[in-house]
Amino acid sequence: MTMPLLSGELRVVTAGAEPLGEALDAQAVPRIRVDWRPPMPGTGDDLARVLADPRRAEANEVAVGRLVSARPRLVTVRPAREALDLPPGTFLHAGPPITWERASGPMRGALVGAALLEGLAGDPEEAGRLLAAGRVRLEPCHRHRTVGPMAGVVSPSMWMLEVHDAEHGGTAFCSLNEGLGKVLRYGAYGPEVLRRLTWMGEVLGPVLRAALELTGPLDLGALIAQALQMGDELHNRNRAATSLLVRELAAAIVDAAPGRAAEVLRFVHGNDHFFLNAGMAACKVSADAARDVPGSTVVVAMARNGTDFGIQVSGLGDRWFTGPAGVPDGLYLGAYGPADANPDIGDSTITETAGLGGFAMAAAPAIVRFVGGDVPDAMRATRSMYEITLAEHPAYRIPVLGFRGTPVGVDVALVARTGLLPAVNTGIAGRVAGTGQVGAGLVSPPASAFTTALTAAAEAAGPGGGPER
């Protein structure tokens, strides 16, 4: 299309068709470049109803305001049976609800390992039969104010990080991080995995609890803000955040357990991802503050169980909107390749939900060496997320973008309107139970999770854009 200027000169407006625009540039024809994309197919009517809902603007402002004003504090560490009132024979898992029959290899492997850890079975075969018979109750972590990385399996004896929101009063939990390689969260359940988990329950958890009793609550929001300015994005790169956490706790660990301090600090020192789980709980308690605002289209959870990817939306209660989990595209360890990869898995997309991880990759140029791509890709990923979010985080800032706040507050309406999907970086689990981690990379969520959520929001808005009575 063309438009007149005040001088009478005409300029061409181009949208999308870059070959045409480049041809105009070659002819020195003045043009105005507009970055426009059509809405996702079939979403027009739902978008119109949602955008016409008179509640939406204020509801979204309230929801995002709660999310970014949360003040997460790490207060203690305690067993899941105590923290979550988790009874014997009940396991939590990452992502939307799932049954043993639909569970992927790494999810099954982690559940088998948990059954062995809890003494419910004597060997993997017996554990598999127990789980297949439905004699273990499976529930999503999110149902219990909890998040778990990768398979996210939580059993009663596992120790949990407990995070309180000092602003809104919420609480969230996450298990302790085992490290990388052959670990339970990637579906491994060999003797070395069980020995490590037993040590974490007998030594690591109690020592951390004793140390936190000496230090008092730790301000996780402040640590996240500092780590972003030190090169982390707080999902797949947590090296700075882990170092900051150790700095806060080291002296107290020595004072609280001098006989165990060396082994605890050595374990944490050898695990650059140790902070991830604390950061996930911080993001969970922040996102939960934005829940249950009628009319809000803000996403408050994104999670995967290795089979399904699901989201929850502030104004739509605890309902999950799901689609098939995709296989990440990334870098593989050793001789592993895409054929060895399981579809995306884990609750760690709670970091992206709160404006970190893939949304903050511009803050972490080194992350591309772990997940693939290059530095310009990381910059583009972050910049594109401003188009589907409603705010910039006031505390989580990115130096290379002029200390602009990270994009936060994913809006299902904006996702449908732009066709842009959330940027997610992730570890890659082997598809065969017991394999462990095989790589790391980037993955796109299924569009259907967002379009079905949009339809539900449209139905809640009513035929005229207002709530049905």
Which pLDDT score, from 0 to 100, does residue 2 have?
A: 47
φ/ψ region of 399 (left if φ > 0, alpha if ψ in -120 to 50, else beta) reads alpha
> Which pTM value belongs to this model?
0.92
Residue 63's CB: how many other CB atoms inside 10 A? 28
Which pLDDT score, from 0 to 100, does residue 18 have?
A: 62
Residue 294: strand, helix, or coil: coil
85 burial type by CB count under 10 A (0-12 exposed, 13-18 middle, 19+ buried): exposed
Sequence-distant (≥ 6) Cβ neighbours of residue 165 within 8 angstroms: 70, 71, 72, 73, 171, 172, 285, 286, 288, 289
| Positions of E strands within 267-375 | 299-305, 308-313, 321-324, 329-332, 345-346
Look at the domain 71-282 and name its fold: Enterococcus faecalis V583 fold (3.90.1710)
The letter for the amino acid at 326 is G
- Whether 361 and 233 have beta carbons less than 8 Å apart is answered as yes
What are the CB-based long-range contacts (under 8 Å, 24+) for 364-368? 364/231, 364/232, 364/233, 364/237, 365/231, 365/400, 366/231, 366/237, 367/233, 367/236, 367/237, 367/425
Q: Write out the DSSP string of 395-414.
A: EEEEGGGTSEEEEEEEBHHH
Which pLDDT score, from 0 to 100, does residue 368 have?
A: 83
For the domain with range 43-64+292-461, which CATH number is right: 3.40.228.10, 3.40.50.2300, 3.90.1700.10, 3.30.470.20? Answer: 3.90.1700.10
Cα separation, 114 vs 106, whole angstroms: 12
- Whether 310 and 343 have beta carbons less than 8 Å apart is answered as no
> At which residue do the structure tokens 């490290």 appear?
179
Which pLDDT score, from 0 to 100, does residue 417 have?
A: 97
Q: What is the pLDDT along the chain (469 residues), one digit of tens a residue?
A: 544 544 456 556 655 556 666 666 777 677 665 566 788 999 999 999 999 999 999 999 999 999 999 999 999 999 999 999 999 999 999 999 999 999 999 999 999 999 999 999 999 999 999 999 999 999 999 999 999 999 999 999 999 999 999 999 999 999 999 998 889 999 999 999 999 999 999 999 999 999 999 999 999 999 999 999 999 999 999 999 999 999 999 999 999 999 999 999 999 999 999 999 999 999 999 999 999 999 999 999 999 999 999 999 999 999 999 999 999 999 999 999 999 999 999 999 999 999 999 999 999 988 887 788 888 989 999 999 999 999 999 999 999 999 999 999 999 999 999 999 999 999 999 999 888 889 999 999 999 999 999 999 999 997 756 565 4
Which pLDDT score, from 0 to 100, does residue 13 have?
A: 61
Which pLDDT score, from 0 to 100, does residue 371 have?
A: 81
Which pLDDT score, from 0 to 100, does residue 273 have?
A: 95
- Whether 391 and 408 have beta carbons less than 8 Å apart is answered as yes
Domain boundaries, the chain: 43-64+292-461, 71-282
> At which residue do the structure tokens 């992350």 appear?
367
Tokens of 120: 């419910």
Which pLDDT score, from 0 to 100, does residue 322 have?
A: 98
Which pLDDT score, from 0 to 100, does residue 20 have?
A: 64
329-332 and 2-4: which strand pairing? unpaired
**Cα end-to-end distance, the chain, whole Å:** 44
